[in-house]
Structure 1
Amino acid sequence: MYTHILISTDGSELAQNGVDHGLSLAKALGSKVTIITATEAFPIPTGVAAWGVTPGDIARYAADCEKATETLLASVKATAEGMGIEARTVHVPDARAAAAILETAQRDGCNLIVMASHGRRGVKRLLLGSQTAEVLANSSIPVLVVR
């Protein structure tokens, strides 16, 4: 049924619930997985604060993101492979998570997306946004949301 599962993570404890569920499902179904994380671009301040940002700041931010995601993805991949699951990792820099998830799922031929959600409603959802809601609204393939 689901032969290629895309599992998203941002390294948080909540996201780990989605990773664990996705890996368990992949193991049960004999599916391969792609594990994805995305990092947003350097937040460029506006006004007077913008004068203090240097190209070096942006380069350090990118390097820090790359190092953190390498560690995160290597850990999840090792867990997957320890379970006997074929796993591939993807880091999409300078991107919003929802867009990266949707594009990767389509490009790689995934037939299920597994991700976690806080399940926020109302004003909190409006203020904090929801990458999960965006994926749900725009995905052409099934999405399993873990809380």
Structure 2
Amino acid sequence: MYDKILVAVDGSEHSDAALRHALELARLSGGQVTAVTVTEPSSMAVPALDLVAVDTASLFEDLEKAKAETAAQILDHTRKAAGNVAIGAIHLASRQIADGILEAAEAAGASLIVMGSHGRRGLSRLLLGSQAAEVLARSKLPVLVVKA
């Protein structure tokens, strides 16, 4: 039924729980798993910029390099956790998280998206936002949200 499973990973305990579910589904169904980690665009707000000269190019290069290194570590952890289940790994840089997950799902031809959620409610959810809620609202595919 779910032959191509996309799982969103970010190195958190929530995404580790989602990964475990995605891998088990793949084992049971004989499906393939692709893990995606998405890093958001770097931005900087500097008040009174006209009073200070800032080399933003090198700052952004350093930020993007650090994000790429972190993404590589997350995907290495994901590959190790997969054990004997074949898993593809994708890092999408400079994307909004939900946009990147949906883009990766489409590119992979996924039949299911699996992602973790912190399960917060009320004001804390509004303040922190919810990538899972946005993916659920916008996805044309089934989405399995794993609360950890």
TM-score by length of 1: 0.91
Q: Which runs of 5+ in 1 are unaligned?
A: none
Which residue does 1:113 correspond to in 2? 113
RMSD: 1.6
For 1:90, give the aligned amino acid: I
Q: Which runs of 5+ in 2 are unaligned?
A: none
Which residue does 1:67 correspond to in 2? 69
Q: Quick one: distance in 1 between partners of 2:56 and 2:87? A: 37
Q: Quick one: distance in 2 between partners of 1:138 and 1:69? A: 24
Q: Quick one: distance in 2 between partners of 1:77 and 1:49? A: 43
C-alpha deviations, 1:22-70, integer Å up to 9, x for none? Answer: 1111111111011000011113114137954521111011111111111
| 1:93-112 matched pairs, under 5 angstroms | 93-112=93-112
Q: Offset of 1:78 from its aligned partner?
A: 2.9
C-alpha deviations, 1:68-119, integer Å up to 9, x for none? Answer: 1112102212332x22x22111101111111111111112210000000012
Helix, strand or coil for the counterpart of 1:47?
coil
TM-score by length of 2: 0.91
**3 and 96 in structure 1: CA distance in 2 versus 1, 3 angstrom threshold:** same
| 1:1-147 matched pairs, under 5 angstroms | 1-48=1-48, 51=52, 52=54, 54-80=56-82, 82-83=83-84, 85-147=85-147
Q: Quick one: distance in 2 between partners of 1:117 and 1:123? A: 16
